[in-house]
Structure 1
């Protein structure tokens, strides 16, 4: 009977082990994303609350350090994704299976919610309302002499920023991690550091170039945007689709780009 011989037993054990590893890895993704959301949103809030002259610079530097540390912590277990963008890009380029990417993304979204809940439990109501739990926003409503006024960035501009910045993120840093030859040559610490620095630079650029109140800057991580939106609600849902659609478009564009590269350059 099929599956009753030695080969069948080995296959069953291997499948069970693989399944266990995937779920263990998804737990690492969940916890990593939860810590990421809590840490990043705390950094955003504290950077502005301290009233420093260079909040964007300090915020970007701290985010770069945080990303690097969390990637190093989760890499041995799950590959260090902690971002649906990386999981989707890895799936589209053949690095991981679609099913594994789906499990990772679900875990990351749950982690984003837990991170937002943790942040909500430690900040006071005033800070929560002022910074919307550090969530991703396109616009906010502010009082004015003529009544409530909506300020922020146009949806079209925000969408293009998400697409361009996410593609730059994938092209300049994640590409190195996916390329086995470069990753092996540079080493884990260097690769994770490069990813952290690139994220920090993109955050700095997106928050300073636009310089628009009401716009929180590029998300590049739908799970991070989803957490505060589910917990805080309200205006965080306005244009929330942009923080999903933009990265997805960028992932597809990145995958198409990799198809143009000879396969021997990717897997040597």
Structure 2
């Protein structure tokens, strides 16, 4: 999540086999560096570089993925406990408090994981980095697998410490479109329709990528702003989007945008039930946003990336 923060790419060998640096552990596509340089590799070599199959057998990549696993687990546990405590606290502005604390938590987790794995802790970031060519398909697979496992572990940890009433009321912090509550004349469904929820996922995830993650992807900005500043900005943008999504609809039963499929998957697997209703929205929406962000990157004049 904290892309090129904190350093350059190093030599070609270290990019593949050295300590995993933020988004620079896999070579960038050469046309990002200098489109005037004519390369002569075959299509098979290019495909091999994109797939990066050797990284599936790299112990260092799997070690780096442990940071993604633990980071995502802590993220799920922290965010869910923040949501529960903010809403349960007797305050008039629970959404504001929740958003501020989430922003701080995300920034801290990025600072903790970025030196090891690049600080993705989110399939959205990993998938976007893969589309752009900053990491290989194989590394993306390993990271997303680790993130999903981490989401499950975080949900299991939350289940172990919260009471059954809180677990039922907050669904282990899972991503929901609707909930069903008992009413005077039978069960009543509260929530939001699938279409606006999907659009919220697409729009908020794209804003997240456009407004903050691009700073980490762009080595120039990452170096100019500094590691701590970029991570802080990322956390602030996440907090703002959480605040907007939970207040703009004012719909009881809607948990707000996920922007992180692994965070939504963990509670759904652990608790199940209605958390699977519309669960696809929290994968398809961010996926569409990632593709839209990639198309935006493609049309940017190359000199705005190099200069």
TM-score by length of 1: 0.93
Which blocks of at least 5 consecutive residues in structure 2 are unaligned? Answer: 1-13, 19-53
Relative to total residues, which structure has the larger helix share, 1 or 2? 1
| Closer/same/farther in 2, CA of residues 50 and 92 from structure 1, 3 Å limit | same
Q: Please, which of 201, 207, 223 is the counterpart of residue 162 of structure 1? A: 201
* 2:250 is the counterpart of 1:187: no
Q: Please, which of 171, 179, 190 is the counterpart of residue 140 of structure 1? A: 179
CA distance in 1, matches of 2:228, 2:151: 25
Q: What aligned pairs does 1:247-262 form with structure 2 within 5 A after superposition? A: 247-262=286-301
Q: What's 2:115 paired with?
A: 76
Give 3-state SS (helix, strand or coil) of 1:213's partner. Answer: coil
Q: What aligned pairs does 1:215-254 form with structure 2 within 5 A after superposition? A: 215-254=254-293
Q: What's 2:126 paired with?
A: 87
CA distance in 2, matches of 1:25, 1:264: 32
CA distance in 2, matches of 1:169, 1:178: 13
CA distance in 2, matches of 1:157, 1:190: 33
Give 3-state SS (helix, strand or coil) of 1:216's partner. Answer: coil
* 1:80-107 alpha-carbon deviations (Å, 9 max, x no partner): 0000000000000111111111110000
| Closer/same/farther in 2, CA of residues 150 and 27 from structure 1, 3 Å limit | same
* 2:75 is the counterpart of 1:36: yes
CA-CA distance at 1:173 after TM superposition? 0.3
Q: Please, which of 209, 213, 226 is the counterpart of residue 174 of structure 1? A: 213
Which stretch shifts more, 145-154 or 239-248? 145-154
Q: What's 2:142 paired with?
A: 103
| Closer/same/farther in 2, CA of residues 166 and 148 from structure 1, 3 Å limit | same
Q: What's 2:88 paired with?
A: 49
Q: What's 2:243 paired with?
A: 204
CA distance in 2, matches of 1:264, 1:79: 25
CA distance in 2, matches of 1:59, 1:260: 37
Q: What's 2:159 paired with?
A: 120
Give 3-state SS (helix, strand or coil) of 1:217's partner. Answer: coil
Question: How many residue pairs were aligned?
Answer: 258
Runs (4+) of structure 1 moved beyond 4 Å? 12-16
Give 3-state SS (helix, strand or coil) of 1:143's partner. Answer: strand
CA distance in 2, matches of 1:31, 1:147: 42
* 2:130 is the counterpart of 1:130: no
CA-CA distance at 1:267 after TM superposition? 4.5
Question: Is contact 1:143–1:149 with CA below 8 Å preserved after alignment?
Answer: yes
CA distance in 1, matches of 2:232, 2:273: 35
| Closer/same/farther in 2, CA of residues 210 and 235 from structure 1, 3 Å limit | same
CA-CA distance at 1:20 after TM superposition? 2.3
Give 3-state SS (helix, strand or coil) of 1:137's partner. Answer: coil
Give 3-state SS (helix, strand or coil) of 2:179's partner. Answer: strand
CA RMSD of aligned residues (A): 1.8
Q: What's 2:60 paired with?
A: 21
CA distance in 2, matches of 1:60, 1:263: 36
